[in-house]
Structure 1
Amino acid sequence: MFVRHEFRTAINRNRDKSYEELKCTPKIYNNPIQTKLVMKYKGLQEFLAERSELGIYLRFARAVAEGRYKDNQVFFGLVQTMQMATERRIRGAGMQNFPYPREFREWSFLIRMSSPRAYRNMAQEFRMESERSIRHCTSKQPRFPLGITSESFGFLRRYCEDYGYSIGHPLCLSVDDTKLFPAMQPLYDGPAKSWFLIGLPGETQLQAATPEQLEELMDGQHSPATKLRLWAIQIPFPNIPPLAFAILPIASKITASELTTYQLHAMNVVKAGTSILHNINPPSDYSNEEIISIPLYNLQGNIYINTQDAPHGRKTARNNIFSGACGLVLGDFVVHYKQLYDMAMTVSDPTLYERDVVRADRQDDNAAHRVFSAATLKGLTKDTEENMGLIVFLFVIGELIDAYESRTMPHAERAKVALRVRFFLSTWKLFLKKVGYSIQRHYLPPGATKIFHTLVDGLLGLILIHRDHLSSPMIPLLPWKHESMANERIFSALRGIFPEMSLVQALLAVPNIRATMSKAKQALFSKASYKTVANGYSFSNDTEDSAIM
């Protein structure tokens, strides 16, 4: 009987009964629990049956109940506001004191700041806060402070508390500068109930008690700041956004001592500590071996290491190949621009774009990735007589960058790579001296050399700190988190809103950007692509980092 087609068709037929049929069926033939629930809650049977015309909505309701949208609070907030607005309209109630979810509200503020027209178009279709209400709320909030203040350390404390991160655990403090549109602009401070003229270098703010005083200040002669310095702090774990710790407008000409003062203040240092050295002592049988010293800094009992941004080192290496100021000589081989030009223009299957070598953007992260890619190295090996010097240079420097950015490389291998780069640079320089070649003409410039030495010492120092100086051995070492990528993410977000950014615009935008820069949200539907050309900043998402934890 079971193998007959007619019988199998009959038993597979959907026999879900409606409420009217179910209440007339003898209880002996029904599931007592299901019957009780269906008779108690009208509409439950239709919901469980999942009719085809309502399938997508029922699946969405189930997904919400199961918590599948818990990581997308902006979208969930939009649904909440639409539902609450509909319920109020049905009751005939007004929209006064409408409760907007926090994440959705912050996102809508950012949309309005970037494009008021787009915000108005969205407000016609969705329930969103009025622009007047946004301006009123913004005016009452304390604005982001200039310089490093007690509020900055309050931001840091709340940042660590929000993620349950102990203050005694390591943090990554990075600093970087970006171009600022020089302008003197007024800004109202709600808590102070006063107007300020903003735009001068440093923490200077010109207060105006009356509109007339403000006009007089604006008519005066001023020298606005041309750069913006940003301090960012990153908890070195995956899926945690960076914190915009402090910003400071600076002039194009500023002394190193002034910058050092702010940097020490950012590290909350009362007095400078003493520099300590960790030496890798050689065995007694090899007393002629070089002692390698890695400088660590002890400031008020906290151990610091100075590192450099690995992607910046990659761009520096690429730019020095393009530079005509130095002709890099490696033994019997040379490194020069035409080798990369030929890889982009003359080979049948190029790994580089024309834009990478002709009028190239020196700050293009994606172009630097392509230069140091395995495909480019493989293409160069087709003519080793011509390209051997470039192959060696790209391999050695590229491995140093990989030692920072690799998610799978063992730490012992990272240390070997760093030491190899140190020996490579010292041997290269020693060779040029012995054969009588000019260091200034045939070696890396001092600035590039310092960057690579800082990368080497920084990586070895991180390994030493995690091995010898942390309160808990369970804290993982993720070298790619100890970079200035946090600054570049914030700069990229600011430039996306204001291509020509002034100081006032930065002060208004930073709090909203900081509140909405959740990497988990960014990784929902977007991934980094190294095939993009002329893209400037390029970031890797953290989805692959989660498996490490």
Structure 2
Amino acid sequence: MSSPRLDIDTIDTLPFNASEWINAGHKYSDFQTNIEVLSERIRILRILEDYAKLLPLTSMSVNSLLVYKLPKLDKEELIGRDVTGFFTQDPSVETLPWLLSRTVPSLKFLKALENAIGQAWFDGAKSFIDGQFQLETRTTSLLFWVISWWHEVHTLYEVRKRWQNTVAWLKEKAALKGPSHKETQDNMKAILESFSWLEWNGTMQLSATISEIARLPSQEWVNDGIINMIIRSIQEDLSKNSALKNYQVVGVAFQYKLSQAAKCKASERSVTFQDFVLCQVEEKYIQEGCNILLFPIHVSNNHWMSCRVDLQTGTVSYGDSLSLYHPREVFGALNLWYKARFAHNCEMKGNILPCGKQVDSYSCGIGRQILALKREGNNVFPIVQATATTAHLMSFSAILSKPSKLLIQSCGKLSKSDSNLDSLMEEIEDSCPVTPEPVTEQTSTKVSKQTSLLSFFAPSSSKKQSHPKPTPPPSPQKKKAKVTAICMNSEDSKHIAGLSGISRSSVKARELNQKDQLRSLEIDPLKWKRFQVKILEVDPHAEFHPTARRQVQCSGCGEWTMGQTVYSAVRFLKHVKENCKHHGKAADKSLPEIQNPRVELPCPGLTAEVHTQIKTYLERSGAKGGGASSLKALSASLFSATWDSLNKLQRKSVETAYMHGLTWLNDHEAKCVYARDCKKIIKIVEGTPLQPCEQCTGLLENIIYNNKKYQNNELLNLSLEFKGLQVLLDYKDRHNLPLPLRFAKLAATGTFDDKEPFIGLLHAMTLTAEHAAKGISLQNMKYHPAFDDFCSVLALQSPAEYQIFRAQLGGRTQRSQHAKAALEPRFPIGITESTFDRALDYIQKVRYDGPLALSCDDTKLLPAYHMYYCKKKEKRFLLGTVGEPLAVADPDELQKFLENSAPQKATKLRLWCLQIPMLGIAPLILAAKTIPNDLDATDLLEYTWKILQGCWKLNLYIISYSCDGTEVERLVQRKIGEKADYTKHYTINHLGLGYDEITVNIYMFQGCPLTIIQDSNHCTQTFRNNLFMGAWLLTLDSYTASYDTIRRAAFMDGNPLYIQDV
């Protein structure tokens, strides 16, 4: 029997006979492409709807994504058992809070589960065991869809990290000081503000998403999709500038088609050169006179350049921001195409196309600087002289400043010009249905509102430039015909509308209006967006009523208009068109003149002027706000228990949830109340009384409050803390105050605030005296942290002296200090994020922000295994192996695992030290790595390069890297030099005649210099070893050195040696 036809939209709804496949002895690999099996696999791996809601929506803003709380990742890899042993036939009984409380396994572990889930499913497995916590007494089993949920969490972490890097880069540039950076600061701040409404992963044209354009305002390399989107923006600008009508710009597909055609045989090139992308360039030149061709070039798989071709004269030039590359292959393919189509060779002009100078390793592909050039002394693209930072911003804003181009255009077919543009991009397949619904559903109203926010990024146009008038919109008749055609094809056209008042639309409208009056209407986000878009298109400053959804206020005349139904904008549109004197027929058609200008002022909130009971409410209630669910309801919801039965930690969680749920906030000093979602800024007609916003106005209700719960304990404690201090300040004989009063007066003025160990000593003496008076021991007594640290240092330097000190002034016992030291965090294993956090903490403690030195060396290690339990991660690890430590899932089976496939034991320990080049500052052991004896320079380079990148990312300026003089270590240093963005060479002339010059190489990484040197201590050790190996004579090149030689040099005039040293 033939398999049913595969339909991707309904594949997960196909019937599945479990008795035929499950526990039937089948091998999954033989049936994994079967449609029934594939359908059921998709179904069991699909995330449940309730759990999918826990993940951020694609419509969420960037700022919301950055603060969204995701489950923690567990990057450790489990060993000790085969992954097939994690599957079980027991059904899962876990609930949603449990899943959120556990860490997400590594991608490698999830991949192993995915590979084994098919056969386990055929063998009857219904769930799998969470191997991370298998050491617990209770076994935890989960359904198969949890694997897909965990995969989504990993993907969200990757996207959020990209946005975090983007925000960090923007904030770094926004912090630049000086008048020359004023414009950059404003641009950065505006982009950061746009992240409050910009969707983090919205769909864009050319098969891209908004998360991909986060590469632009950061240090990431851009991909082909980003380059094509930037070029699309340039193409749109060119089409609006009649002065540049002879220019045409194409995307990355042009270079690809040229190279592809050049690789063909000579007899086949005439056919390959007729490719649609290449023919489009010829057609625009022949029919429209576009003789200047601009396109990007990608060379060496890591660098972007711009190319300019004059199709009329055959001259070719390019612009390289690094001036290092010569794209011979691209020019060869270009010449073959030009000769075949235009009958003569090209003339290569070289690297003469103006472009910005690149000083880093990531700015070559930014913005319109790719295709920047000059034409007759005027910039074709105004950012030709822009800096790298400005070009990044221009590119980022050029894409986002056109809201109509943000989302995929799915309303109507593409025009001929649009189709040509997309074909040159070679990335978009416009097969969306011809229906206007997706546009209104996906278009964010905030995007249209924020158009002015990004408009200042666009280059200012000259007054002399002439721009063609925009194409008028299609006539209403055409629109109506189009919509009618769509409706006739829809399902609704199959039904005949009922009589007026009893049709489905009339009944639905009455239901919506009734719910709106009762304030019980649940707003449909998509329909509400469409409604707002219609209103804001004719009146961008219109106001929507916060509760009465049918009412909209006109910004011109201030009149409120009631819609016929919810989501209906007909009456408001009619009011603006016919009745409003500022927008309608009476208004000026060019620019409406507002007789009563509107001003923006902060919302005053609810005060006694608005309602007399506000003052009484604030005087009687000490609450910080209100409107949240009661503590009783929150206790039942979060812990399924009463408030009285909760412990201290649970009550703290309930109180935190209560604070998050507050609907309004009380300001007792200003005597006003604000809504939690207050608009902050309101627009009113100048001269009219200032009133609160709609959100604040909607708070006026009478609710009973209990003051006892919300009394301000902090103010009460502050008052009690200084109770009686006035007596000390008013002492009569101020010149002969007793010592306790003199000390109290100085302490009250803050004289001893910087003497924390002394304050801690007084604290310890006071507690000791109080315990002695009460007859209790000093067990579990808490000491001041500064005094505790002072005692620890004293005990380490001299235990005997510390015993004397402790007998007189108090402090911990040495046993207690040892127990406290055992609780301190261990040295981080491997090279992780905590490694660089320690380095940053190291330099911050000494308040140092200068250059740093990095050194590396190996030491012998006794090969052995060691079990280590990490209390923080609640896991056991196997140390002593090569590479990262291995997490042990089952210690009982560890011995069996070591006997079967024991990992390689490490024979060396590689250490990296970070040094502040100043006297008296101890170095920091930055990282340690176990390695074998047979690692080559490539493997060692990976570790050192990871450390250098991590330090540079945190602005730790490492300017030197030193190691011993072995051949492997020197090869690692040379490989580091090869990764440099560019190299600066400095030459020092030798003072003597006939001697070679000394050349010093300085490698530049992200604008930071790095020198490669040999450790001076290793050099001294080498000389010392040579002396004790039986050497009789010290040689320096072709000369010998003896005591007499050094003595004569010491007594010469102008020598650098001290006689006493000799």
Does the pair score TM above 0.5?
no
**Larger Cα Rg: Structure 1 or Structure 2?**
2
State the TM-score, normalizing by the size of structure 2: 0.23
Which one has the bigger helix percentage?
1
